[in-house]
A and B are shown apart, each in its own frame.
Chain A
Amino acid sequence: MNKKLIGFCLVFLMAVAIIGPDMVRAEEPKEIKIGATIALSGRFKGIVGTFDKLGDEWAGLVNERGGIYVKEYGKKLPIRFEVYDDASKPENARKFYEKMATDSSIAFFMGPFSSFISNAAITVAGKHQIPMQMVCGNDEVLFEKPNYWRVGSLVPAAEEWERLVPIYKKKGGVKTFATLAMDTLHNKGVIKGFEADLKKNGFEVVYSAIAPPPTKNFAPMITKLRKAKPDVVCIEALSLAFTIGFLKQMREAGFKPKEIIVGHVTKHVIDTLGPFAENITGLAYYIEGDTQDHKDFLEVTRRAGFTWGEFMESGIRYWAYTRIKQTIETAGTLDRKKIMDTMWNMKSKIMGLDNYVTKEGYGALGSYPCQVQGGKFVSIWPLEKALKMHKYRNP
């Protein structure tokens, strides 16, 4: 009988030890830790799976220069990411953020990918009062309720495509638009904003559809879409399979609109479509420039093994990392409340663009028009540059 009791206790202790929380250390920090979850598996893996490497390379670059200067301690501290896999599910994200919340050596949280996972994450940040810099999440649901402990990086979803409109307005030559959005919170929000923008500027939306993520057969939609005779076909989908399926079937149908806009273009889309991808217009969170930030960003992506055009979301990551760095430098301390205040109030420039946070918490990074030219994704902004470089597919 005693053996049973001992056996039970042993098993229990083992279980607790394996998953037990970290010990709490209260002393001068030796490094700055940033906690985050990324979708290293699950359905978002193809979009952000490589970004843990990106984070590590960025941290590596910063550490090569000594780290981040924290005035309170009068020296530079190295920076490190602690990343967990949320498998593209919110309850896992929540679980890991809770785990990291007990570690007081973590100075910052960085958000996960997608609004609905971010939603679970910000509840933890708010509960434990840990500053969270969201990355890929800009839908209303995140900002409806005030939450002091989270800020975003991006402009609201509805504004994502707004820079495209001036190009068409100035350039002329197109009048009618057709849109297809994948049935997710984000994609619908983006297209709704775009359509409103179009209407305000005198363009006409002749076809507007939403299709569920697993759709494979686009032929019926293309048949109907064609009849509406749009000049421009727009497709906004988080899933590459969706985008590729649609475009391939448009090709099969022999339908050649004047212009095609694809919300999430990556290298894989370009490779899969071959010459058909030429002159597809898209967006990226990046514009060309000469700043130190640009050099750093290109270096970090190079080290991580890809280019900004291959994974367009990488620009957002860099923005978020830099915000964190600038916040710590500006605040001069790792005290959570002071950091959070700085997060809200800080105004600076990143990659030559204005960096600030709106009163609801939206960030300032928007997306900028690009086009596939010569098999590569090329940035075509500002407006003057766009007017010169942009080409219609079928004039």
Chain B
Amino acid sequence: MEIAVQLVIAGILQGGVYALAAFGLSLIFGVSDVLNLAHGEFLMLGGLFTFLLFSATGLNPFLIGLMMVPFAFCLGYIFDRLLMRPLAGKKEHIRLMSSILVTLGAALFIEDVTSFLAGAEEKGVDYTLPSFFWGDIFISYLRLLAVVMIAALTVGIHYYLKKTYTGRALRATTQNIRGAMLVGVDTHRIRSVTFGIGSGLASIAGVFYVVLLSISPDMGLGVTIKYLCIIVLGGLGSLIGSLVGGLILGLTESVVSYYTPHWGQTAAFLILVLILLIRPKGLFGK
């Protein structure tokens, strides 16, 4: 019984970290309708700069992470402005193809330049908070922080989307881009803003990665693929979907890994494929 509780907790906590990174991707897809294969690079860069600044100054990595969010936002904004804007007007499957090419090329470029400048090895930050123990069950405060953070972000973004002008413009663009343009929304700017927000979220996830695990310049594509799969599971463009998707994946991995460690990842992908087959638009897709 104890074990079950531990597994569920571990699953939820892991899922929280997954959801954090997937959130940003979901937002970007919802608004721009492009597959961003470079998302993982922002995560990696967030983690990398946290590592570099932490090594240099010793400041609390989360503080560093928070300070970096504006930079990540700007980076994402510029990325969209330069690279994605020209693709906006094209036909749907040309846009999909071009976005794959452009973001893949960007990802390869960022990955290689980073590993050239910063070294290709694993980097990790040594920062711990004690775990909370309850009998034999342990809950890591760090992971709890991740879950709290994502809960806060969910509420925050929900509020943002409902109440602020930019937020509502964002939703409008997601629902009907022509309509949004008709009512005077600058859809190009909205897209760049969204990209910025998404990248900021990715960099926060990167901080968690570098503290809980480790990062390396070549991790980008691998995590991008995983998160793309999560948001597809949850339903493209749905924030709740990416949350739930992350949680489901985290739980599946957790439970299966206990019994047969090497089937953990397989089970997760299996569930993903099965859910998509049952609900072709993902769990909460439109």
Q: Which residues of A are at the interface with B, using a C-beta cutoff of 8 A?
A: 41-43, 45-46, 49, 180, 183, 209-212, 214-221, 223-224, 226, 240-241, 244-245, 248, 251-254, 266, 268-269, 271-276
Q: Is B262 on the interface with A (CB-CB < 8 A)?
A: yes
**A275 → B minimal CB distance (Å):** 8
- How many interface residues does B have (CB within 8 Å)? 42
A residues near B13, Cβ cutoff 8 Å = 219
A351 to B24, CA, bound (A): 54
On whether A45 and B115 interact (CB within 8 A), knowing A210-B261, A219-B10, A221-B257, the answer reads yes
> Are A49 and B120 in contact (CB-based, < 8 A)?
yes
B residues near A269, Cβ cutoff 8 Å = 122
**B144 → A minimal CB distance (Å):** 11
> Are B123 and A217 in contact (CB-based, < 8 A)?
no
**B209 → A minimal CB distance (Å):** 9
A49 to B254, CA, bound (A): 34
B residues near A42, Cβ cutoff 8 Å = 218
B residues near A218, Cβ cutoff 8 Å = 257
Known: A215-B257, A217-B257, A221-B258. 11 other contacts (CB 8 A): A210-B261, A211-B262, A217-B11, A217-B253, A219-B13, A220-B258, A240-B122, A240-B214, A245-B214, A268-B122, A273-B124
A residues near B131, Cβ cutoff 8 Å = 252-254
**A147 → B minimal CB distance (Å):** 32
A276 to B126, CA, bound (A): 9
A276 to B130, CA, bound (A): 13
B residues near A223, Cβ cutoff 8 Å = 3, 6-7, 10, 258
A235 to B120, CA, bound (A): 22
> Are B214 and A217 in contact (CB-based, < 8 A)?
no
Mark out the residues of chain B between 245 and 266 whose CB falls within 8 Å of any chain A CB in the assembled complex.
Answer: 250, 253-255, 257-258, 261-262, 264-266
On whether A220 and B257 interact (CB within 8 A), knowing A183-B262, A254-B133, the answer reads yes
A residues near B216, Cβ cutoff 8 Å = 46, 240-241
Give the residue of B128, B136, B254, B262 whose beta carbon is less than 8 angstroms from that of A220: B254
Main secondary structure of the interface of B (DSSP, over half): helix
A252 to B125, CA, bound (A): 14
A209 to B212, CA, bound (A): 22
Q: List 5 A-B contacts (CB under 8 A).
A: A45-B218, A214-B265, A215-B264, A224-B258, A268-B122
> Are A217 and B14 in contact (CB-based, < 8 A)?
yes
B residues near A272, Cβ cutoff 8 Å = 122-126, 214
Give the residue of B124, B138, B218, B254 whose beta carbon is less than 8 angstroms from that of A217: B254
A residues near B264, Cβ cutoff 8 Å = 211-212, 215, 217, 220
**A240 → B minimal CB distance (Å):** 4
A residues near B214, Cβ cutoff 8 Å = 240-241, 244-245, 248, 268, 272
A253 to B14, CA, bound (A): 14
Q: Is B142 on the interface with A (CB-CB < 8 A)?
A: yes
A residues near B138, Cβ cutoff 8 Å = 252-254
**B120 → A minimal CB distance (Å):** 4
A219 to B142, CA, bound (A): 14
B residues near A273, Cβ cutoff 8 Å = 124, 126
Give the residue of B115, B122, B140, B261 whose beta carbon is less than 8 angstroms from that of A221: B261
On whether A46 and B14 interact (CB within 8 A), knowing A41-B112, A221-B261, the answer reads no
Give the residue of A43, A214, A221, A266 whose beta carbon is less than 8 angstroms from that of B218: A43
A211 to B115, CA, bound (A): 27
Chain B: CB-nearest residue to A311: B121
**B183 → A minimal CB distance (Å):** 44
> Are B10 and A220 in contact (CB-based, < 8 A)?
yes
Q: Is B213 on the interface with A (CB-CB < 8 A)?
A: yes
**A338 → B minimal CB distance (Å):** 39
Q: Is B222 on the interface with A (CB-CB < 8 A)?
A: yes
Q: Which of A210, A214, A216, A217 has the most CB of B within 10 A?
A: A217
On whether A46 and B6 interact (CB within 8 A), knowing A214-B222, A223-B258, the answer reads no
Q: Is B219 on the interface with A (CB-CB < 8 A)?
A: yes
B residues near A240, Cβ cutoff 8 Å = 121-122, 214, 216
Chain A: CB-nearest residue to B255: A220
Chain A: CB-nearest residue to B260: A209
On whether A217 and B121 interact (CB within 8 A), knowing A223-B258, A253-B138, A254-B138, the answer reads no
B residues near A45, Cβ cutoff 8 Å = 115, 120, 218
> Are B120 and A216 in contact (CB-based, < 8 A)?
no
> Are B124 and A211 in contact (CB-based, < 8 A)?
no
Give the residue of A183, A221, A245 whose beta carbon is less than 8 angstroms from that of B213: A245
